[in-house]
Amino acid sequence: MALARRLDRIANWGSEMKMKTHSILKYAPVALMPALLLLTGCALETGNPRTYLPDGQTEAAGVYIEQCGSCHAVPHPQRLSAAAWKDMLAIMDKRRQERDYPPLTEAQRKKIMSYLDAHAR
């Protein structure tokens, strides 16, 4: 009797695997959705910053894009609060110094901070 059950199990192995595979594939779109959303969110900031930033055509936005985008992708101003941007600018000043970039002029700093203040979270 035990041998008959084993033989039956072996004979039905393919259909059992098909059912397991089908149930896995059934939930694949749900499992992949967070990854797709993450990739889509990142893709929004890979084009021309002037198109996805608020008031992207202004002089202040241009200074922000030119100075901050010289090292990394330009983050959206709503990513941080105005106070956090002020702290971040201080941190980035140190990074510029470490990489032998010229320091921001006072005029550049004021334009960048006014832009970030106006569009921060």
Q: What is the pLDDT of residues 16-58, one digit of tens each?
A: 556 565 666 666 666 666 665 555 544 445 578 888 999 999 9
Q: Count of alpha carbons within 13 Å of 60, Cβ hemisphere only?
A: 15
* Burial classification of residue 76, based on how many CB atoms lie within 10 Å of its CB (0-12 exposed, 13-18 middle, 19 or more buried): middle
Asked if residue 74 has pLDDT above 70, the reply is yes
CA–CA separation, 86 and 77 (whole Å):
12
This prediction's pTM: 0.61
Q: How confident is the model at residue 100 (pLDDT cuts 50, 70, 90)?
A: very high
